[in-house]
């Protein structure tokens, strides 16, 4: 099961940000090229939405040096970028952090770090050294440096120091000095390093009001919903939110005690609704048909995983549990932020999946499929794996069957529908 968990982390976080599903190696892990591609795509997505993000900044002085810390959050309240800039007599140093998921509670999520150092020269020019580091999974170990690119150039006085035309040099990681630290020292140092961007973001958020907040004066339907963390679309415009059918909501009744930040939990309520919302307008576009009960993306084994198409207009919301998925819906947003509707994906494939593997389907109680969504494409094609696991007894944890399926989400005069394009048996020992 360990291989499957590692694959889930990488694949699910990749498609969460709208990156097409990538073929895995025989071990179930993504290759270095695939992980670098995912991190590079995330970098572009984040840069595109910074202007419409919540921005925090803090400036401190120490001796002759000035440190500026910045953090950006999307409309769902998730940190998407952290930057630290230090300026002093010896020059300027900038470090920027981008992750597939800076707030991840799925475990390791991958990290891209950009470093730039500007050193003044005696002739008035500037020496610029840049490093782009990609951290991911390598040889079964998470948090490894999988690729490093470097740039170095000298610029004349008054010349632009933009390095866009300076070629990258790929660092041969095989020639790097061997780490002589003990396992305990190395693990402690790595933990501190990878926790650093989230600690900075949290500290800035807790220190005071943001420098800019494009959502501050947008009221919309904000009293009627609370966004589920980790559910924002790749462009940061849309998200999935928790709400209720009732007219008036006292959100203080559902605050999670002991949790950092404002998170809400309402499992015992009978009128729970999940909405698609436009974060830029704080507007409810429609119901997804799912009723996930909190704004944390994960509660032990129960979790809400939202997979978006790259165009941020199609999505799948999966309410997953340890041995089976509780609900899975697919939806579409039409141009102009019009909600085209949603369809019960689990119901659409359940009977046909059991028939395909020639297993008995319980007409009264239904099946117990565990779904993993691998990709939602711009043309509405959904790639997923449907499995059934043994939840108890001597076979506990074993895969009973696994099926790879390609579906198409389409519109009809009566609403959305899902058609099965292809099914294939998968090995049970994924």
**Residue 176: predicted pLDDT:** 84
Do 344 and 379 share a domain, yes or no? yes
User: What is the DSSP-derived secondary structure letter of residue 31?
Assistant: P
pLDDT in tens, 328-382: 999 999 989 999 999 999 999 999 999 999 998 877 777 799 999 999 999 999 9
Band (pLDDT 50/70/90 cuts) for residue 5 is very low
- Which two three-digit tokens encode residue 167? 């070629």
Do 134 and 35 share a domain, yes or no? yes
pLDDT at 422 over 50: yes
| Alpha carbon of residue 329 to chain centroid | 19
Do 89 and 232 share a domain, yes or no? no
Do 261 and 186 share a domain, yes or no? no
Band (pLDDT 50/70/90 cuts) for residue 387 is very high
Structural domain ending residue among the three candidates 179, 207, 235: 207
pLDDT in tens, 127-170: 999 999 999 987 656 778 999 999 999 999 999 999 999 999 99
Average pLDDT, the chain: 89
Do 168 and 262 share a domain, yes or no? no
What integer is the mean pLDDT of 105-120? 82
- Which two three-digit tokens encode residue 386? 């449907």
Q: Is residue 294 part of a domain?
A: yes
Q: Above pLDDT 70, what percent of the chain?
A: 89
d(CA 386, CA 401): 8
pLDDT at 4 over 60: no
pLDDT in tens, 169-217: 999 998 888 888 888 888 888 888 888 999 999 999 999 899 999 999 9
Range of the domain at 377: 222-425
Scanning 59-182, the segments in alpha helix (DSSP H) are none
Q: Is residue 217 part of a domain?
A: no
pLDDT at 385 over 70: yes
Q: Is residue 228 part of a domain?
A: yes
**Residue 355: predicted pLDDT:** 95
Burial class (CB in 10 A: 0-12, 13-18, 19+), 13: buried
pLDDT at 20 over 50: no
The β-bridge partners of 276 are 240, 286
Q: Is residue 332 part of a domain?
A: yes
Number of domains in the chain: 2
Do 45 and 108 share a domain, yes or no? yes
Do 242 and 177 share a domain, yes or no? no
d(CA 407, CA 422): 7
Do 136 and 196 share a domain, yes or no? yes
What integer is the mean pLDDT of 111-121? 96
Do 407 and 320 share a domain, yes or no? yes
Neighbours of 346 (CB within 10 A): 22
Q: Is residue 216 part of a domain?
A: no
Do 14 and 151 share a domain, yes or no? yes
């Amino acid at each position: 099961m360990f291989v499957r968990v590692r694959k889930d982390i990488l694949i699910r976080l990749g498609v969460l940000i709208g990156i097409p599903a990538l073929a895995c190696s025989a071990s179930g892990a993504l290759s270095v090229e695939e992980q670098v591609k995912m991190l590079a795509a995330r970098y572009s997505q984040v840069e595109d939405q910074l202007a419409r993000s919540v921005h925090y900044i803090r400036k401190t002085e120490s001796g002759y040096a000035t440190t500026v810390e910045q953090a950006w959050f999307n409309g769902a309240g998730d940190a998407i970028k952290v930057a630290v800039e230090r300026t002093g007599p010896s020059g300027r140093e900038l470090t920027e952090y981008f992750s597939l998921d800076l707030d991840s509670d799925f475990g390791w999520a991958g990290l891209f770090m950009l470093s730039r150092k500007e050193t003044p020269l005696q002739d008035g020019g500037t020496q610029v050294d840049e490093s782009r580091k990609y951290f991911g999974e390598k040889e079964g170990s998470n948090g490894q440096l999988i690729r490093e690119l470097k740039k170095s150039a000298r610029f004349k006085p008054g010349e632009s120091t933009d390095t866009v035309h300076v070629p990258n040099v790929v660092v041969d990681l095989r020639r790097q000095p061997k780490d002589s630290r003990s396992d305990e020292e190395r693990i402690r140092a790595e933990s501190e390093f990878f926790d650093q961007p989230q600690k900075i973001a949290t500290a800035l958020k807790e220190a005071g009001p943001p420098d800019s907040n494009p959502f501050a004066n947008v009221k919309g339907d904000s009293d009627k919903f609370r966004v589920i963390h980790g559910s924002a679309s790749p462009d940061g415009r849309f998200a999935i939110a928790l709400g209720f059918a009732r007219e008036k909501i006292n959100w203080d009744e559902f605050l999670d005690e002991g949790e950092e930040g404002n998170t809400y939990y309402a499992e015992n309520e009978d009128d729970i609704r999940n909405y698609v919302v436009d974060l830029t307008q704080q507007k409810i576009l429609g119901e997804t048909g799912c009723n996930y009960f909190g704004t944390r993306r994960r509660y032990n084994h129960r979790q809400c995983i939202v997979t978006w198409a790259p165009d941020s207009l199609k999505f799948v919301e999966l309410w997953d549990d340890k041995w089976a998925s509780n609900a899975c819906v697919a939806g579409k947003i039409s141009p102009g932020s019009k909600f085209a509707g949603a369809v019960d994906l689990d119901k659409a494939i359940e009977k046909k999946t059991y028939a395909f593997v020639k297993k008995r389907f319980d007409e009264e109680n239904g099946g117990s499929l565990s779904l993993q969504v691998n990709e939602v494409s711009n043309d509405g094609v959904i790639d997923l794996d449907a499995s059934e696991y043994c939840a108890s007894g001597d076979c506990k944890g074993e895969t009973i069957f696994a099926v790879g399926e390609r579906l198409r989400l389409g519109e009809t005069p009566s609403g959305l529908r899902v058609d099965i394009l292809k099914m294939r048996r998968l090995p049970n020992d994924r």
